[in-house]
């Protein structure tokens, strides 16, 4: 009875091995314990031995092929015995090119991007890939020659191909080697053709973005691809804001008041405007509009780790002092990194302020499923027509409102922005300021 011989699993993490060389040909007699083929993993060369005596009836792979572990590589038996049933099926893990040296599938550090590094070579379908041992050799020595012809089947690059080239190529200096071990990469074009690869030929490793950055990136892309956002700019007289601010600074207000800043005042006005124009205080999810009775306002915080948007809950009818206090607490927690998860979600509207950097207008990006976000800009002088018909310069604060046109048309958006302006201009009469 014919017996299949399968690719052994040589190590826990090995998913496939390279069939380096057939030592027996189809039709040749083989005795038990004789070596049929040589197998390479990235760690060593192994010999595939015959488990019994017989004739090599069929081989299913060629030398140079990467063979999944446990796949049948050949069949032993008596001449004439059927063997087709042992042929690996299409559904089996496909033979063929080894996984590319793509770091995601092999958990290896990505190889340095030397000129036409085999990373690229292996990844592109028309370039031969590296055998597992060759890959390991290359990785350990940071050695990635360009334009090398492999002597394995299909041009696959074997360790011996690299070895030969290695002994004729520039090597990293001791310092360069230490830097390469630390993830530095060889620049496209080494500065000298021969001799040493030196530290000046290397560039520092590309910085991997943090999980937080990754999350922000994804959310921003999603926002832009899932909404129809547009931004409108306007400005409001900041005379009231500034007057209030200077009274607070001068300590003219009651001791119990926190040090309310311009941003907090604008946020307060936005809440008041949302109370009046509730169309913007909605969520738009899967083609449905969800109205919420409460107003939960997110505010963008620049923290050492990146953008964080804490949410102040239940802002409706909050007094300005109370609102400011809540904002300050959340902002502190956000920058310390101690903010609770539940304080980071569930907003119905967002305010973001770049005015402190002197920004005059920008395009805030929506925080879906929210449908609007208000950007606060710098305060600057603006010429306005005075009562007597002359031109006066009045301090104005810039406002940039982004809305999702899927839900909010231009007019209601503009109406909201106008309301915010009115609230800002009337700030001093809006709340009972203790004296």
Partner 1 sequence: MYDLIVIGAGPGGYEAAAHAGRLGMKTLLAEKEFIGGTCLNVGCIPTKTFLKSARLFSECRSAAAYGVEIAGAKWNQAAVVQRKNKVVSTLTRGVEALLKKNRVEVVRAAARLQSAGLVQVGDRRLEARNILIATGARPAVPPIPGIDSPSVLDSTAVLNLTEVPARVAVIGGGYIGLELAGFFFAAGAAVTVLEMLPRIASGSDADISSRLQQAFKKSGVTLKTSCKVTRIEGNRISCLDDQGAAFETEAECIVNATGRVPVVQDLGLEELGIDLDRKGIKVDERGRTSLPGVWACGDVTGRRQLAHAATREGLVAVNEMAGRRDRIRYEAIPSVIYTHPEVACVGWTEEELKAQGKEYKKALVPMAVAGRFLVENEGGSGVVKVLAGARYGEILGVHMLGDLSSEFIVAAAQMMEMEMRIADVEKVVFPHPTVSEALKLALLEIA
- Which residues are at the interface with partner 1 (CB under 8 A)? 173-176, 178-179, 191-194, 196, 198-200
CB–CB of 381/392 below 8 Å? no
Nearest Cα to 234, choosing from 409, 421, 364, 425? 421
Nearer to partner 1, 194 or 391 (CB): 194
- Which residues have CB under 8 Å from 224's CB, separation 6+? 365
Q: Give the number of other CB atoms < 10 A from CB of residue 215.
A: 13
Min separation Cβ 184 and partner 1, Å: 11
- Which residues have CB under 8 Å from 388's CB, separation 6+? none
Nearer to partner 1, 82 or 174 (CB): 174
Min separation Cβ 171 and partner 1, Å: 10
Nearer to partner 1, 168 or 341 (CB): 168
For the record, the structure tokens of 301 come out as 């915080």
Residue with tokens 């900041």: 238
Euclidean distance between the first and final Cα of the chain, in Å? 102
Nearer to partner 1, 154 or 195 (CB): 195
Min separation Cβ 198 and partner 1, Å: 5
For the record, the structure tokens of 409 come out as 């048309």
Nearer to partner 1, 19 or 176 (CB): 176
Nearer to partner 1, 114 or 282 (CB): 114
Min separation Cβ 194 and partner 1, Å: 8
Nearer to partner 1, 141 or 213 (CB): 141
Distances, alpha carbon 115 to alpha carbons 112, 119, 144, 186, in Å? 9, 10, 8, 8
Min separation Cβ 193 and partner 1, Å: 4
For the record, the structure tokens of 119 come out as 């990373």
Length in residues, the chain: 435
Nearest Cα to 184, choosing from 170, 168, 173, 169? 173
Min separation Cβ 197 and partner 1, Å: 9
Nearer to partner 1, 207 or 391 (CB): 207
Min separation Cβ 257 and partner 1, Å: 45
CA distance 258 to 254: 9
Distances, alpha carbon 412 to alpha carbons 344, 371, 415, 417, in Å? 28, 12, 5, 9
Residue 303 burial class via C-beta count within 10 angstroms: exposed 0-12, middle 13-18, buried 19 and up: middle
Nearer to partner 1, 191 or 429 (CB): 191
Min separation Cβ 192 and partner 1, Å: 6
- Which residues have CB under 8 Å from 110's CB, separation 6+? 101, 103, 119
CA distance 76 to 3: 5
Min separation Cβ 191 and partner 1, Å: 6
Which stretch of DSSP H or E encloses residue 391?
Answer: strand 391-404
């Amino acid at each position: 009875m014919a017996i299949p011989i399968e690719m052994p699993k040589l190590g826990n993490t090995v998913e496939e091995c390279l069939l380096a060389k057939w030592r027996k040909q189809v039709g040749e007699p083989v005795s038990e314990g004789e070596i049929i083929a040589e197998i390479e993993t990235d760690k060593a060369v192994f010999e595939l031995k015959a488990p019994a005596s017989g004739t090599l009836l069929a081989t299913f792979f060629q030398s140079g092929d990467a063979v999944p572990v446990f796949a049948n590589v050949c069949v032993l038996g008596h001449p004439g015995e059927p063997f087709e049933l042992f042929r690996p099926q299409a559904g089996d893990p496909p033979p063929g090119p080894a996984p590319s040296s793509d770091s995601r599938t092999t958990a290896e550090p990505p190889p340095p991007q030397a000129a036409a590094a085999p990373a690229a070579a292996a990844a592109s379908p028309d370039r031969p890939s590296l055998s597992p041992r060759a890959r390991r050799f290359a990785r350990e020595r940071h050695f990635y020659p360009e334009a090398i012809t492999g002597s394995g089947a299909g041009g696959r690059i074997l360790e011996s191909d690299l070895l030969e080239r290695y002994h004729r190529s520039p090597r990293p200096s001791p310092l360069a080697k230490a830097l390469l071990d630390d993830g530095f990469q060889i620049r496209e074009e080494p500065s000298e053709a021969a001799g040493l690869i030196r530290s000046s030929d290397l560039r520092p490793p590309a910085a991997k973005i943090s999980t937080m950055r990754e999350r922000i990136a994804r959310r921003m892309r999603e926002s832009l691809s899932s909404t129809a956002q547009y931004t409108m700019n306007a400005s409001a007289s900041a005379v009231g804001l500034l007057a209030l601010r200077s009274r607070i600074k001068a300590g003219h207000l009651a001791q119990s008041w926190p040090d309310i800043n311009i941003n907090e005042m604008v946020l307060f006005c936005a809440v008041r405007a949302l109370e009046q124009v509730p169309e913007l205080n909605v969520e738009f999810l899967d083609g449905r509009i969800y109205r919420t009775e409460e107003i939960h306002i997110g505010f963008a915080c620049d923290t050492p780790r990146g953008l964080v948007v804490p949410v102040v809950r239940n802002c409706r009818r909050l007094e300005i002092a109370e609102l400011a206090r809540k904002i300050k607490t959340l902002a502190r927690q956000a920058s310390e990194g101690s903010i609770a998860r539940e304080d980071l979600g569930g907003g119905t509207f967002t305010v973001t302020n770049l005015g402190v950097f002197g920004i005059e207008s920008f395009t805030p990006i929506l925080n879906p499923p929210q449908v609007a976000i208000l950007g606060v800009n710098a305060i600057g002088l603006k010429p306005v027509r005075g009562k007597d018909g002359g031109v006066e310069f009045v301090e104005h604060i810039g406002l940039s409102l982004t809305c999702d046109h899927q839900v909010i048309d231009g007019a209601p958006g503009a109406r909201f922005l106008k309301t915010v302006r009115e609230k800002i201009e009337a700030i001093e009469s809006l709340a009972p300021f203790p004296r």
